[in-house]
Amino acid sequence: MAIWSLVLSILWLGGLGSLAGIMLGFAACRKIPHTGERGYGLAIAGIIVGIVTLIFAIGYWVFFAMHTGGTGGSGGGGGGYGY
């Protein structure tokens, strides 16, 4: 589970991979002490990388939303030529 946390965090997938990586990382951190498995550091790395890539994803989508679409402030959507 810790390996998948890191892999999905790196893949990004528009932010969805980051969210899945963070959730799997926390699940792995809870599970590892009970099962005695190794990989706690890998789970922490998945959480950290997931948070960083999620911040980049949010910034990307905000930038994308601000610079595309809309009427561009010309008002009314009439093309801006006075028609």
- 74 inside domain: no
Around Cβ 59, how many Cβ atoms within 10 Å?
10
Q: What is the pLDDT of residues 52-67, one digit of tens each?
A: 999 999 999 999 888 8
Residues whose CB is less than 8 angstroms from the CB of residue 48 and which lie 6 or more positions away in sequence, other chains included: none
- 82 inside domain: no
- 35 inside domain: yes
DSSP letter at 76 equals: T
- 45 inside domain: yes
Give the pLDDT confidence score for residue 81 in this predicted structure.
Answer: 62
Give the pLDDT confidence score for residue 21 in this predicted structure.
Answer: 94
- 78 inside domain: no
* Residue 31 structural domain: 2-51
- 15 inside domain: yes
| pLDDT band, residue 15 (cuts 50/70/90) | confident
Domain count across the chain: 1
Decide: residue 43, CB within 10 A, 0-12 exposed, 13-18 middle, 19+ buried.
buried
Instruction: Please report, for residues 3, 18, 44, 55, 64, the alpha-carbon distance to residue 28 in angstroms, rounded to integers and kept in the order given.
Output: 9, 15, 9, 22, 33
- 66 inside domain: no
Q: Which residue has better confidence, 56 or 82?
A: 56
- 64 inside domain: no
